[in-house]
Amino acid sequence: MQKRILGKTGLEVSALGYGCMGLDFSYGHKLSKDDGIILIRQAVDLGVTFFDTAEVYGPFTNEKMVGDALRPVRERVVIATKFGFNIVDGKMAGLNSRPEHIKQVADASLKRLGIEQIDLFYQHRVDPDVPIEDVAGAVKELIAAGKVKHFGMSEPSAATARRAHAVQPIAALQNEYSLWTRGVETNGVLELCEELGIGLVPYSPLGKGFLTGAMSKDTKLGQGDFRAMLPRFTPEAMAHNQALVDLLKQIGIEKDATPAQIALAWLLAKKPWIVPIPGTTRLNRLKENLGAANIALTADDVTRIENAAAAIQIEGDRYPAQLQAMVGR
């Protein structure tokens, strides 16, 4: 597996990471803890060194699974987790990035993961009630204490990230980025990463499964699958957006690759400091995703893909209003 450096902080990770959320959270189906541990360790054997979790996934169960899986290979992997939600009685109850809460979350995450230092600690969503300088300052103190190695943010505005970076250098921003969610190209985030030397970690790089080609307007989402609340996953939107999958399939035929591999290879070709973190619960899909690292798209390939994609008007917002309001602050 090729390696990449996230930002100027020297954080080296595999070119493709592993988003662990879906192993037991959000998609209406979950692996047992034992099966999740097996799959995570298979990812390590296949060369993945970058694993992403969060306290809110479960809540808490995902961190325990990831920690149990990775402790035996701790020296070979980078573990990222997140703070920023208020969790009450096992449910999200708003945001909370008060400095004292951040420090409590760090201690709790370290305990669940069973490790001595969090490699990358993201603010999960910007809390408008807490100055971002205070948030960055709290993480700076955790770094000084040896509990955290690197600071990250998920879905901030470019302006907010710049202010945080001035207090504590940011190693990586985690934003949704894929061929059907390209906001970072126009909202200043991509330019900020280039300017300040910050890595970009695209989550949902396969469009929450849609860009793999495994879904259609006839796909029935199971109970508890959060995609059922997303505007892009109505049958009508999926029927319309199938044109983008058809484009990926067409290019995949030419490159002897799957639609998922083309979608990931496109991201990898954009910048050398972009590290997508696709997730899956299946070994065959894991292998397929990692195969994208071996597909070299030329600049002409990238331009062609983008020109073709630009002609396809994506139907449906990526989030309903209440979730969209939490990004880009």
Place 307 in a pLDDT band, splitting at 50, 70 and 90: very high
Mean pLDDT of the 4-9 span: 93
Can you give the pLDDT at residue 28? Answer: 83
Can you give the pLDDT at residue 119? Answer: 98
Can you give the pLDDT at residue 323? Answer: 94
Can you give the pLDDT at residue 29? Answer: 85
Place 232 in a pLDDT band, splitting at 50, 70 and 90: very high
Can you give the pLDDT at residue 7? Answer: 85
* Whole-number percent of the chain with pLDDT over 70: 100
Residue range 14-68, pLDDT digits in tens: 999 999 999 999 998 899 999 999 999 999 999 999 999 999 999 999 999 999 9
Which amino acid makes up residue 4? Answer: R
Residue range 254-296, pLDDT digits in tens: 999 999 999 999 999 999 999 999 999 999 999 999 999 999 9
Can you give the pLDDT at residue 19? Answer: 98
Q: Could you give the CA distance from residue 106 to residue 127 in angstroms, rounded to a whole number?
A: 17
Q: CB-based contacts of 263: which residues, under 8 Å, 6+ apart?
A: 178, 179, 205, 206, 207, 211, 212, 248, 292
Residue range 137-174, pLDDT digits in tens: 999 999 999 999 999 999 999 999 999 999 999 999 99
Place 89 in a pLDDT band, splitting at 50, 70 and 90: very high
pTM above 0.75, yes or no: yes
Can you give the pLDDT at residue 9? Answer: 86
Can you give the pLDDT at residue 245? Answer: 97
Mean pLDDT of the 219-241 span: 95
Can you give the pLDDT at residue 31? Answer: 97
> Which residue ranges form the domains of the chain, and what is each CATH number?
3-212+267-296 (3.20.20.100)
**50-52 and 78-83: which strand pairing?**
parallel
Q: Could you give the CA distance from residue 262 to residue 213 in angstroms, rounded to a whole number?
A: 11
Catalytic positions: 57
Place 80 in a pLDDT band, splitting at 50, 70 and 90: very high
